A and B are shown apart, each in its own frame.
Chain A
Amino acid sequence: MLLSGADIIVKTLIEQGCDVVFGYPGGQILNVYDSLYKYSDEINHILTAHEQGAAHAADGYARTTGKAGVVISTSGPGATNLVTGIATAYLDSIPLIAITGNVPTTQIGSDSFQEIDITGVTLPITKHNYFVSRVEELADTLREAFRLSLSGRPGPVLIDVPKDVQIAICEYTPKEKVAADEKQPAKEIRIQEAAECINSAKRPFIYFGGGLISTAAQEEMLELAEKIDAPIGCSLMGISGIPTDHPRFLGMQGMHGHYASSMAMHNADCIISLGVRFNDRVTGNRAKFATKAKIVHIDIDGSELSKTVNATHGLRADIKLTLQKLLPLINKVERKEWQEKIAFFRKEENDYLDNRESLTPRKAILTLNKHLGENTAVATDVGQHQMWSAQNLSFKTTRRFVSSGGLGTMGFGIGAAIGAAFGTKERSVLVTGDGSFGMCLQELATAVSYNVPLVILIMNNGVLGMVRQWQTLFFNKHYSNTVLNRKTNFVDLARAFGADGEKASSVEELDKALTKAFSTDGPFVIDCSIDKDEFVLPMLPPGGSMDDIIVKVGDGI
Chain B
Amino acid sequence: MKRYTVAVLVRNDFGVLNRITSMFRRRQFNITALNVSETESIDHSRITVTFDGEENNKQQLINQLYKLPDVYSIKDLTNENAVKSEMLMIKVGNEPETRADIRAAADAFEAKTMDYAKDSMIFLLTGDSRKIDDFINLMSDYTILEICRTGIVSLEKGSSVMRKITNL
Binding site for B on A (CB under 8 A): 119-120, 123-124, 127-128, 131, 148, 153, 181-182, 301-303, 305-307
B69–A303 CB distance below 8 A: no
Which of B56-64, B94-102, B114-122, B139-147 forms contacts with chain A? B56-64
Q: Can you list 14 contacts pairing A with B, beta carbon distance less than 8 Å?
A: A119-B15, A123-B18, A123-B19, A124-B26, A128-B70, A131-B15, A148-B69, A181-B167, A302-B63, A302-B66, A303-B64, A303-B67, A306-B56, A306-B59
Residues of A within 8 A of B23 (CB): 124
Residue of B nearest to A310 (CB): B56
CB within 8 Å for A301 and B60 given contacts A123-B22, A124-B26, A181-B167: no
In the complex, what distance in Å separates the CA atom of A128 from the CA atom of B70?
Answer: 9
A303 touches B18 (CB 8 A): no
Which residue in chain A gives the minimum CB-CB distance to B70?
A128
A307–B167 CB distance below 8 A: no
Chain B residue numbers with a CB within 8 Å of A302 are 63, 66
Please, which residues of chain A bring their CB within 8 A of the CB of B167? 181-182
Within 8 A of A (CB), among B114-167: 167
Q: A153 — which chain B residues lie within 8 A by C-beta? A: 67
Q: Give the distance in Å from the alpha carbon of A469 to the alpha carbon of B26 in the complex.
A: 31
**In the complex, how many angstroms separate the beta carbon of A127 from the nearest chain B beta carbon?**
8
Q: How far is the CB of B164 from chain A (nearest CB, A)?
A: 16
A124 contacts B63, CB within 8 Å?
no
Bound Cα distance from A306 to B56, whole angstroms: 8
B64 → chain A closest CB, angstroms:
5
Contact partner of B60 (CB less than 8 A), chosen from A123, A124, A127, A303, is: A303
Instruction: State the interface size on chain B (CB cutoff 8 A).
Output: 17
Closest to A123 in B: B22
Instruction: Report the separation of the CA atoms of residues A305 and B63 in the bound assembly, to the nearest whole angstrom.
Output: 9
Report the bound CA distance from A324 to B19 in whole Å: 37
Which residues of chain B from 28 to 67 have a CB within 8 Å of any chain A CB?
A: 56, 59-60, 63-64, 66-67
Measured CA separation A455–B77 after assembly (Å): 58
| Complex CA distance for A124 and B22, rounded to whole angstroms | 7
Give bound CA distance, A305 to B56, whole Å.
10
Could you tell me the distance in whole angstroms from the C-beta of A90 to the nearest C-beta in chain B? Answer: 12
From residue A542, how far is it (CB to closest CB) to chain B in Å? Answer: 21
The 6 closest A-B pairs by CB, nearest first: A303-B63, A302-B63, A128-B69, A124-B26, A303-B64, A123-B22
Report Cα–Cα, A525/B88, bound state, in Å.
Answer: 70
For B63, give the chain A residue with the smallest CB separation. A303
Residues of B within 8 A of A301 (CB): 63, 67
Question: What is the bound-complex CA distance between A550 and B96, given in angstroms?
Answer: 76
In the bound complex, how far is the Cα of B56 from the Cα of A373, in angstroms? 47
A131 CB contacts on chain B under 8 angstroms: 15
User: In the complex, how many angstroms separate the beta carbon of A311 from the nearest chain B beta carbon?
Assistant: 11
Distance from B84 Cβ to chain A, minimum over Cβ atoms (Å):
26
B68 CB, nearest partner CB in chain A, Å: 8
Q: Which residue of A lies closest to B56 (CB)?
A: A306
**What is the chain B residue whose CB lies nearest that of A307?**
B60
CA distance A148 to B64 in the complex (A): 16
Q: In the complex, what distance in Å separates the CA atom of A120 from the CA atom of B22? A: 10
Return chain A residues, CB-CB under 8 Å to B63. 301-303, 305
Which residues does chain B contribute within 8 Å of A182, judged by CB atoms? Answer: 167
Chain B residues positioned under 8 Å from A303 (CB to CB):
60, 63-64, 66-67
Distance (whole angstroms) from the CB of B106 to the closest CB of chain A? 44
Return the chain B residue nearest A147 by Cβ: B69
0/1 string, B68-106, CB within 8 A of A gives 1: 111000000000000000000000000000000000000
Residue of A nearest to B67 (CB): A303
Closest to B59 in A: A306
Chain A residues closer than 8 Å to B66, beta-carbon distance: 302-303
**Could you tell me the distance in whole angstroms from the C-beta of B153 to the nearest C-beta in chain A?**
26
B26 CB contacts on chain A under 8 angstroms: 124
CB distance from B30 to the nearest CB of A (A): 17
The docked-state distance in angstroms from the alpha carbon of A306 to that of B19 is: 24
Residue on A with the closest CB to B68?
A: A128
For A123, the chain B residues whose CB sits under 8 A away are 18-19, 22
- With A and B bound together, what is the CA distance between A148 and B168 in angstroms? 13
Bound Cα distance A301, B70 (Å): 17
Determine the chain B residues whose CB is within 8 A of the CB of A124 once the complex forms.
22-23, 26
Give 19 new A-B contacts, CB below 8 A, not counting A123-B19, A124-B23. Answer: A119-B15, A123-B22, A124-B22, A127-B67, A127-B69, A128-B68, A128-B70, A131-B15, A148-B69, A153-B67, A181-B167, A182-B167, A301-B63, A301-B67, A302-B63, A303-B60, A303-B64, A306-B56, A306-B59
Residue with the highest number of chain B CB atoms closer than 10 Å, among A131, A153, A302, A307: A302
Question: How far is it, in angstroms, between the C-alpha of A131 and the C-alpha of B15 when the chains are bound?
Answer: 10
**For B68, what are the chain A residues with a Cβ–Cβ distance below 8 Å?**
128
Tell me how far the C-beta of B54 lies from the nearest C-beta in chain A, rounded to whole angstroms: 12
| A119-B13 Cα distance, complex, nearest whole Å | 15
A303 CA to B64 CA in the complex, in Å? 6
| Docked pose: A305 CA to B22 CA in angstroms | 22
Q: In chain B, what residue has the closest Cβ to A302?
A: B63
**Smallest CB gap from A131: residue in B:** B15
Which residues of A have CB within 8 Å of B60? 303, 307
Smallest CB separation, B32 vs chain A (Å): 22
* Alpha-carbon gap, A153 to B63, bound state (A): 13
Rounded to whole angstroms, the CA-CA distance of A555 and B15 in the bound complex is 54
A306 to B60, CA, bound (A): 9
* Nearest residue, chain B, Cβ from A153: B67
Shortest beta-carbon distance from B82 to chain A in Å: 23
